[in-house]
Amino acid sequence: MVSCKLKSTLPYSDVEAQIHSVVRPPTWRGEPYSLSYILVNREINAKELVSFLRWAVDSELPNPRVITPELIKWSSLFHPRFFKSVHKDCPIEIEPLQWRDDNLSTDFNLLSQLWLQSVMFLSGVTLSAAIIQHRFSSGTIGSKLDRLWDAGSLSASGLAKELNSLRLHDRVSALASDGSDEIVRLLAIRETYMEVMECIAPRSGKTEMMRQSSFVIYPDGRFDFIKTLRNRLGSGLRAVVVYGSSVSSDKFADIDAVVIVDDPTSTLLQLAGTSPTWMGKELNLGIYSPSEFLIMQYLSGDNLSEYGVCIWGELEVIRKQIPDLLARNFSFGVVRQRQQFGMLSRELASTETLSPDRKNLYEYFVKIPANVAKGTFGAVGERLPKERIHDWLLSTIGFNAPASQNLASSGKVVQALASSSLATGHSLRELNKALGVVKTADLRDK
């Protein structure tokens, strides 16, 4: 570890940083993986964040990540292994957090499992779109395998013993060396994710039925795609639920739908690469069997029956308690912010031309502050359209979501990712002020 003040390099003199270097053992990639955590003594703005990372890249620090005091504090609940490893090295003292709801556990093992559940859910939930929209690259496959490898490492450490029987390291190595068609590999990766999530999903909440409802309040025919989908999938189609801005707003960029089928693998093969649209809008379809979707519901940060509209069939869903929903949404936010910081670091260090796949990925991650805010407000029953979410972000933390998205779309992804990644943390702070999810721990109780 090296402690240094960067006064001679940066255009400001009040920032002190400690560099925490980590070398992780080889993964399925076959090489050790090095990370450089730059722990700073205060919160920083987007310009300072980029300056730090440029300094780190110029200094040839491997895979640098700027870690602010706020992110370390969040990690005390939402990534406790990371907090345990770095908090003592921060240039200032970090006070850990605890839940305001006494029914939520602060046990180290259970908090580590919450982190694992969030990582697996966020990585697994995008696999249908990757296959149907052909929205993947070799990097996409690699990142999915990385997450599975991490789960295998947690299993080997004893913090996720329920995964031991899956032998994840062996399975990931086999998937990495598999020369099959990419869609076939993605389907095998999806199957592995579903097995992992079935093992780790907490069985909390009540099961209830969600049935087809009238949608005459949408006279523009936005959900009439169900007729085409029924014809295409036939008797194997069990249910379709639409959600998102197409349900809550007159203006929407795409249509999100959960599709419950008897055989997800054959359905995904049938839809692979078709990139379906309706009325000029992209159809984002999540394909699951009934049992798979129950597992996903246990891990999600929402109660689908409260904001989705069933436009065909019926399905079982899970109703979870508000404290559990809030904990999951905050966990998702912290995981996503760490991923945003990683993307920003890689983009600054990259000498490659920005590919369409990477650009699409960055455009999605620039929306994370809005997604976190929308999901968290939704957990307490406030179903806000994206326009109101954007207004809230602008008025509370000064983050202009549409402007940041326009920056990413125009190729200025560094500026967009820098402001968006910091906004994710700031939005969590303001959401906590409004909803009272966590508080500073009273160390006298320890």
The predicted structure's pLDDT at residue 415: 95
User: Using one digit for the tens of pLDDT, what is the confidence trace for 282-322?
Assistant: 999 999 999 999 999 999 999 999 999 999 999 999 999 99
Which run of H or E residues covers position 313?
Answer: strand 309-319
Amino acid in position 399: F
The fold of the 206-319 domain, in CATH, is Beta Polymerase; domain 2 (3.30.460)
Mean pLDDT of 200-209: 96
pLDDT of residue 217: 67
Q: What is the pLDDT of residue 338?
A: 95
> Which is more confidently placed, 387 or 199?
199
Cβ-proximal residues to 414 (8 Å cutoff; 6+ apart), any chain: 50, 344, 347, 348
- Reported as a single tens digit per residue, the pLDDT across 145-184 is 999 999 999 999 999 999 999 999 999 999 999 888 899 9
pLDDT in tens, 113-150: 999 999 999 999 999 999 999 888 888 899 999 999 99
Distance, CA of 335 to CA of 315 (rounded, Å) = 29
- pTM across the whole model: 0.94
How would residue 247 be classed by pLDDT, with cut points 50, 70 and 90?
confident
Q: Dihedral, CA atoms, 150, 152, 156, 157, nearest 10 degrees?
A: 30
Give residue 2's pLDDT: 43
Neighbouring-strand partners of residue 3: 18
More confident residue, 15 or 212: 212
End-to-end Cα, the chain, rounded Å: 29
Parse the chain into domains and list their residue ranges: 1-97, 108-200, 206-319, 321-432
Average pLDDT score, the chain: 92
| Residue 215: predicted pLDDT | 57
In this prediction, residue 152 carries a pLDDT of 97
Q: How confident is the model at residue 386 (pLDDT cuts 50, 70, 90)?
A: confident
Confidence of residue 356 (pLDDT cuts 50, 70, 90): confident
Sign of CA dihedral 403, 408, 410, 412: positive
Element (H, E) at 20: strand 16-24
* Burial (0-12, 13-18, 19+ Cβ within 10 Å), 209: exposed
- Record the tokens describing residue 346, joined without a space: 């890689």
Residue range 430-446: mean pLDDT, rounded: 83
Confidence at residue 9, expressed as pLDDT on a 0 to 100 scale: 55
Q: Distance between CA atoms of 124 and 163, rounded to whole angstroms?
A: 16
Q: Pick from 256, 252, 141: which is nearest to 187 by CA?
A: 141
Q: What is the per-residue pLDDT for 1?
A: 42
Q: What is the pLDDT of residue 393?
A: 98
Per-residue pLDDT, averaged over 87-107, amounts to 92
Per residue in 257-272, pLDDT (tens digit) is 999 999 999 999 999 9
Four-point Cα dihedral 312, 315, 319, 325, nearest 10: -70
> What is the 3-class SS of 109-154, one letter each residue?
HHHHHHHHHHHHHHHHCCHHHHHHCCCCCHHHHHHHHHHHHHHHHH
